[in-house]
Amino acid sequence: MASQTQGTEQPENPCIRHCCLDNNDICLGCFRTLADILAWHSATLEQKQQILNECQIRKSAKQK
């Protein structure tokens, strides 16, 4: 569930509990890199949005 920080809604953590890293350290469940996963908790709103955008790009590329 999204939390509130200083009146700005934070994006929901994209983890779907299907954690398995590929050879490039990208999770096959949420498409975050290992670095993204580790940084999520302390990331700013802008950084989280960037992570989510990159996840979507990786997911789309994987589905093609």
Q: Does residue 55 form part of some domain? A: yes
The pLDDT of residue 64: 85
**The model's pTM:** 0.82
Domain with 53, as residue range(s), is 36-64
Nearest-CA neighbor of 3 among 45, 58, 36? 45
- Alpha helices (H) in the chain, listed in sequence order: 34-39, 45-63
CA atoms within 13 A on the CB side of 53: 6
Structurally, how many domains does the chain consist of?
1
Q: Does residue 16 form part of some domain? A: no
Measure Cα distances from 57 to 7, 20, 23, 51, 63 in Å.
28, 18, 18, 10, 10
The pLDDT of residue 14: 96
Q: Does residue 42 form part of some domain? A: yes
**Average pLDDT of each block of 10 consecutive residues along the chain (64 residues)?**
59 95 96 98 97 97 90
Task: Report how far residue 5's alpha carbon sits from residue 53's, in angstroms, rounded to the nearest whole number.
Answer: 21
Total residues found in the chain within this entry: 64
The pLDDT of residue 54: 98
Q: Does residue 56 form part of some domain? A: yes
